Structure formats: structure tokens, C-alpha cells
Amino acid sequence: MAANPIEVDPYTSLSDEACEARIVAAREKLGERLVILGHHYQRDEVFRHADFSGDSLKLSRQAAASKAEYIVFCGVHFMAEVADILSRPEQVSILPDLAAGCSMADMANLAKVERAWRELATVLDPDEEVTPVTYINSAADLKAFCGRHGGIVCTSTNARHVLEWAFGRRDKVLFFPDQHLGRNTGYTMDIPLEDMVVWDYDQPMGGLSAQQIRDARLILWKGFCSVHQMFRPEHIDRFKEKYPDAHVISHPEAPFEVCRKSDYVGSTEYIIKTIREAEPGSRWLVGTELNLVNRLHDQYRHEGKSVHFMSPTVCMCSTMFRIDPQHLLWTLENLVDGTPVNRIRVPAAEAEQARLALNRMLDVSP
């Protein structure tokens, strides 16, 4: 066993091609001790090495059920945290590049959410009247906050079921960090837009009056995904002018006006399934991350399907794009050498509370 980890610097100058064979060799040496998870939004050079692909919750559950000792998550920080929370104590969760985060998740931190909870308490009793709901795209300490305040976690797939559960317990919901997922889901539940308010975490009392807080059913955190935020209704209009028979499908992290103009709205898994099962020769405009859109286009081109990215401006998720073959190789060769790097550990007490909120979600999900 090596005394010290191998440094990352010599790896950064390697070409993707040079990394490929060494990644395969390291995987063979590690065998069943290793599982590599690849989120749908990862670049192809990394995604091709995944043992499991999917959304963050699905991947974490698959890893926890595996025999692997090492879980290498090609995704972002909050995903590796979920893997650590849900995995067995002897499993080690690793993120190849610690700079791989999520700008949306960073818009809601524990200090800001706890301050909002205290400010809400000047108007009502939040522990009796408000259920905190955090999107899975959030830090572990926010999942723990929901766990200890009777709240819950949601994904883009089960958000409606989670909100139905939440409203069955208390009159109001504080939904963070993504306002668009909350608004789009609430609207499908026939919650009027006027009953949803946005909590601006940079303003005292979220920029709301006491009466607005009392009247609101859904309090939406002022957060968003920088990639999905850039999609606009006019992008759909221009595309439909050119291709009137095209289908439009969007992720619910996209703005309300975009989702209302879309023919289909759903999670990443839903988007993949819908296009996979679509008629050969069909054309699709897709409002989600570019790597996935390009992969779908390449995957179904042989069926005559055309899959287009919604925005005319290419905007990569800079944090999702962080995991590259060089960091993956560095991670794996350190594991071969017996020196795990970039281990993600959620403190035990925090993990226990976060697990409460995650298990509530799993209990109410179909």
C-alpha cells in the first residue's frame, strides 16, 4: 500500500486517448471492489466508463445494493453525498473532482434556510404550518434540516407525490432550492400562481409581507439551474415555425412559460423514455442539458429521429462538466495503489437526519 496518494498534476496533461486504456486496466484490477456511477449529464468520455447510468437517486441506490467497496460518482458533490448517506458503512463514496458542484444547490445553504425559518416564525409557526421540501439537488445539511423539521426530499420524477404528501400534513410548503420545479409541479396540482410566492433569500423576510406569507400555499426559494434557466418560449416558437410537426419536451427545471409551451414535461429519465419510445422519423426539441441531448441524437439517429437542443446558445453546465477522464484515471489508479482520494463523508448525525427525509420520500414515491 502506498504511503501517500499519487498527485493529480501529472494526469492533467494526458490526452483523453491516453487515459482510456489506463482507465480500463485500473477497472480490471479493482474488479467487483469498484462501481462507477455516471449521471446522464456527464461528458461521453467519462459516461462510457459507467457501470450504472441514470439520475442521482437511482444511481446511489444501485451502488448501495452492489458488492462494491468503492463508489466512484461521476456527477457532482451533492450526488456523492447521497451515495454516502444511502450506502453501507463499509462502502467509500468518491468524487473524482471536488470542484464538481451544482450552482443551483449552492443557492440554498443551511444558514440562509435557517434564517428563513426564523423569519417565517415571526408570522406563523413553521413547525406546525410549513413542510420544508428540498430538491435532491441540495447539500446534505439541507436534507438533514428537512429531516428534523418533519420535511422531505423530492426528485423531478416524484415531486408531485411528495408535494401531495407535504400538503396532507401542513397547509404550506417551503420548497428549495429550485423555484421552477416547485412552480411547475404546483401548477399541475391546480395551485394558482397567485398562491405561490418567491422567497428572495437576499431580502429581509424574503422580500414578502406578512400577509403574502399567510396567504401563500407554496413558498418558492429564489433558486434556479443556470442551464435550464436559459431556455425561452421564443426558442420554441422559432423552432415550431421551421418544424411545425416537431415535438417539444422540457425538464421541469425550465421556466414556467417554457414548460407551458412544451408538449411534454418531465424528468431526465422521462425525457429519455419518451424519445426512446417515439415514432421513427420524429423530430424533438429538448429543453435540458446539452450532453444528454447530443447523446440522444446520436443514439436514435439510425431510427431517423432528430433531437435538437432548445437554446441557440450553447451553455454547458460548468460544474457537471468538471469530471474528465484525467481525474477519473487519477482516482482509479490511486484506488489500485490503496490510497483513496476525494472521499465524500457526511457526518453521522447529519446523515441520520438526512436519511429520515430521504426515506420519507422513498415511502411516498410510487
User: Per-residue pLDDT averaged across 56-83, rounded?
Assistant: 92
Domains of the chain: 9-101+320-346 (3.40.50.10800), 105-225 (3.40.50), 228-309 (3.40.50.10800)
Instruction: Show the cell assigned to 147.
Output: 429531516
User: Per-residue pLDDT averaged across 67-75, rounded?
Assistant: 95
Q: How far apart are the C-alpha atoms of 102 and 235, rounded to whole Å?
A: 25
Residue with cell 420524477: 157
Q: What pLDDT does 9 receive?
A: 94
Q: Taken in order 8, 14, 16, 22, is the CA torsion positive or negative?
A: negative
CA 95 to chain centre: 15
Q: Taken in order 158, 160, 165, 170, is the CA torsion positive or negative?
A: positive
Instruction: Show the cell assigned to 274.
Output: 419518451
pLDDT of 1 over the 50 cut? no
Backbone phi, psi, residue 64, to 5°: -60, -30
Q: How far apart are the C-alpha atoms of 46 and 36, rounded to whole Å?
A: 10
pLDDT of 2 over the 60 cut? no
What pTM did the predictor assign?
0.93
**DSSP letter, residue 87:** S
CA 202 to chain centre: 23
CA atoms within a 13 Å half-sphere pointing along the CA-CB vector of 150 = 15
| Contact present, 202 and 221 (Cβ < 8 Å) | no
pLDDT of 321 over the 80 cut? no
- Summarised one tens digit per residue, pLDDT across range 209-266 is 999 999 999 999 999 988 888 999 999 999 999 999 999 999 999 999 999 999 999 9
Residues 6+ apart with CB under 8 A from 6: 330, 333, 334, 337, 339
- Summarised one tens digit per residue, pLDDT across range 287-318 is 998 889 999 999 999 999 999 999 887 655 55
The per-residue DSSP string of 271-312 comes to: HHHHHHTSPTT-EEEEES-HHHHHHHHHHHGGGT-EEEES-S
Percent of the chain with pLDDT over 90: 86
- Summarised one tens digit per residue, pLDDT across range 153-193 is 999 999 999 999 999 999 999 999 999 999 999 999 999 99
| Contact present, 123 and 101 (Cβ < 8 Å) | no
Q: What pLDDT does 322 receive?
A: 81
